[in-house]
Amino acid sequence: MPHETVIECPFCKRNVVKTLKFESFLQAERTHISAGTKYVYHRTSEKYEVLDKCPNCGKTKEEIQKALDTGITKELSHEGRLKRLKESGLPTKIVSKREMKKRP
């Protein structure tokens, strides 16, 4: 059963956002093989459903939900992504095989 809780806003870090918290639980899945039926259990993760926007920073329910689901609170610009890729050593320009053959 979900219950209403107040959590910390991922943007302004204050305990003001009302959410529904769905606890983690074991879920059984039945599989069929030639030898018979087998039950496989796996644990679901806990989830939050945001009910209100943040009154302090003004972020919407959708922005807060996305931040809780992905863990990302700040979007990088295109230049920021390129800089991070260059620092990690990944190529920033992808060249096709045809272009490689044309080069001297």
Asked if residue 19 has pLDDT above 70, the reply is: yes
pTM above 0.85, yes or no: no
CA dist., res. 18 & res. 8, Å (int): 9
Asked if residue 41 has pLDDT above 90, the reply is: yes
Closest to 51 in 3D by CA, of 26, 12, 22, 18:
18
Asked if residue 95 has pLDDT above 70, the reply is: no
- For the chain, the structural domain boundaries read 3-102
CA dist., res. 83 & res. 77, Å (int): 10
